[in-house]
């Protein structure tokens, strides 16, 4: 679905079952955030963020108000109201960067067709992530959102340009920082698996291994961990399929198709997972 250069395309699927607010959001949170390990933003969590962020904390909000603002932003994200989620998170500065970056990144990946606009949004997300790392360096998702944004940006430009800009190293460093803070961060394991696979797939195993330490065995190890941590996550199976195609090409075409089928058959828990599952369905039809 295309979007105007400056606009936000609406979520194109039925999202009635993705309405999470109040107690429903709290109860569903562990399942909704199994992939990124985002802590539930209750008042205690909000108070900790305010203290950790210091001068970068949102002005004029106490812990209870910040908690409600973060919950509303995440509710919008899960419902597929990505622009609303982005604007709400952005308004909170580095404390709201996690939801803002996830919203603009997922929307750009699936609902923006203009490549220049996609790159612009990934760059904006990466800048927000850098501010989040500076303000909240002990938050795993400060680093993960940075890797996510730079990773998507690098996928949108030539491999030569991405390597010349040093993006591969920056993505790897941010993913390793994420896993040092949260070893069970499933999405970081998935992304690190793809880091190895994309380098091997684009510049070859020999040069990729010698220059960037990319190894098929590491890719397999990290995707296996992600699948174990989040077996019901469509994106883990989607990226497993992509990994197989990048490293083994037509030799593992059938296995990749099976992984796409698994992703397509999973029942999505929110708007993001619906988009992931629909993408998988599109790969096998």
**Rounded percentage of the chain residues whose pLDDT exceeds 90:** 86
| CATH number for domain 21-166, candidates 1.10.1240, 1.25.40, 2.60.40, 1.20.950 | 1.25.40
Average pLDDT, integer, range 228-232: 98
pTM of the prediction?
0.94
Contacts of 148 (CB under 8 A, 6+ apart): 101, 102, 105, 125, 129, 187, 191
Residue 254 has pLDDT above 60, yes or no: yes
Q: What is the pLDDT of residues 105-160, one digit of tens each?
A: 999 999 999 999 999 999 999 999 999 999 999 999 999 999 999 999 998 998 77
Tell me the DSSP string of the chain. Answer: ----TT--PPP-S--GGG---THHHHHHHHHHTTTT-PPP--HHHHHHHHHHHGGGSPTT--HHHHHHHHHHHHHHHHHT-HHHHHHHHHTTGGGGHHHHHHHHHHHHHHH---HHHHHHHHHHHHHHHHHHHHH-TT-HHHHHHHHHHHHHHHHTS-HHHHHHTTHHHHHHHHHHHHHHH-TT-HHHHHHHHHHHHHHHHHH-HHHHHHHH---HHHHHHHHHHHHHH-TT-HHHHHHHHHHHHHHHGGGGHHHHHHHHHHHHHSPPSSHHHHHHHHHHHHHH-
Contact 144, 36 (CB under 8 A): yes
> Where do you find CATH 1.25.40 in the chain?
21-166
User: Higher-confidence residue: 166 or 186?
Assistant: 186
pLDDT digits (tens, 9 = 90+) for 10-66: 999 999 999 999 999 999 999 999 999 999 999 999 999 999 999 999 999 999 999
Q: Phi and psi for 44 in degrees, rounded to 5?
A: -65, -45
The mean per-residue pLDDT over the stretch 203-223 comes to: 83
Say what the pLDDT of residue 208 is: 67
The answer to whether residues 104 and 125 touch, using CB atoms and an 8 Å cutoff, is: yes
**What pLDDT, on the 0 to 100 scale, is given for residue 6?**
55
Q: What is the mean pLDDT of residues 261-266?
A: 98
What is the pLDDT confidence band of residue 212, given thresholds at 50, 70 and 90?
Answer: confident
- The pLDDT of residue 160 is 77
The per-residue pLDDT of the chain, averaged, comes to 94
Q: Is the pLDDT of residue 228 over 60?
A: yes
pLDDT for position 163: 82
27, 132 Cβ separation under 8 angstroms:
no
Local confidence band at 203 (pLDDT 50, 70, 90 cut-offs): confident
């Amino acid at each position: 679905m295309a979007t105007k250069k400056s606009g936000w395309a609406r979520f194109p699927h039925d999202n009635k079952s993705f309405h999470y607010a109040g107690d429903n959001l709290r109860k569903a949170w562990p399942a909704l955030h199994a992939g990124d390990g985002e802590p539930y933003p209750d008042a205690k969590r909000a108070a900790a963020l305010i203290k950790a962020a210091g001068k970068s904390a949102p002005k004029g909000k106490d812990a209870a108000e910040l908690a409600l603002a973060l919950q509303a932003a995440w509710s919008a994200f899960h419902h597929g109201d990505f622009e609303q989620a982005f604007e709400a998170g952005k308004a909170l500065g580095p404390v709201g960067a996690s939801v803002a970056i996830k919203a603009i990144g997922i929307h750009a990946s699936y609902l923006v067709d203009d490549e220049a606009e996609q790159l612009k949004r990934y760059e904006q997300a990466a800048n927000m992530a850098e501010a989040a790392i500076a303000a909240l360096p002990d938050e795993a998702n400060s680093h993960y959102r940075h890797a996510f944004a730079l990773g998507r940006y690098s996928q949108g430009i030539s491999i030569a340009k991405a390597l010349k800009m040093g993006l591969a190293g920056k993505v790897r460093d941010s993913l390793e920082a994420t896993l040092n803070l949260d070893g069970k961060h499933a999405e970081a394991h998935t992304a690190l698996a793809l880091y190895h696979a994309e380098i091997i797939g684009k510049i070859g195993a020999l040069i990729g291994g010698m220059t960037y330490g990319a190894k098929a065995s590491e890719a397999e190890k990290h995707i296996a961990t992600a699948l174990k941590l989040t077996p019901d996550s469509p994106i883990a199976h989607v990226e497993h399929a992509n990994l197989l195609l990048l490293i083994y090409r037509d030799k593992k075409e059938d296995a990749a198709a099976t992984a796409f089928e698994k992703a397509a058959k999973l029942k999505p828990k929110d708007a993001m997972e619906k988009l992931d599952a629909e993408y998988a369905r599109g790969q096998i039809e």
